[in-house]
Structure 1
Amino acid sequence: MPNLQRLLRQVLGFVRRNPDAANRHLRRAGETVKRRTGGKYNRHIDKALGGVSRYLSNQRGRPGRGAPYGRDHRHGPGGPPKYRP
């Protein structure tokens, strides 16, 4: 069970850092499933992919681990100094 939790954390980290790539891979997987099932479950697959796309669109620009959206730890806990003209 700990290995499964670690794998899930890694997958979610990848999704947060690369939402566009994750969306592309999931779309490709959905098309493969549609082709393998002969179109029998297209409606269900489309609904699932739509929900995933909405989730991933919410992830874009959210702070998280990793560049470019991650916090820059060089400035300490307060973050970078604020710009004051």
Structure 2
Amino acid sequence: MVQKSEKLGLVLDVETTGLGPDSDEVIELAMKLFSFHENTGEILDIKEEGSFLREPLSMSAKKIIIKHTKYMESHLMPSLGKALMKG
């Protein structure tokens, strides 16, 4: 239960394939409901959280994801792998 000096807040994170409302799609939503102290703004508790994934429907969105995934695999993952091996 929320105390009198506590308020509720919600953080919403939206992942999309781009910024074009006619050409891009929402592929993930993540939310956190939290309580915070009214006077200090201090976060007191995470009340509830959830994340929802969605496969893109359009071929253009799928191509963007494939392009970025291949870039990550070829450019970022080798560096990450080397860093992890060094420990």
With normalisation by structure 1, the TM-score equals 0.28
Using CA pairs under 8 Å that are at least 6 residues apart, name the structure with larger relative contact order, 1 or 2. 1
Answer 1 or 2: which has greater strand percent.
2
With normalisation by structure 2, the TM-score equals 0.28
Question: Max radius of gyration: which structure?
Answer: 2
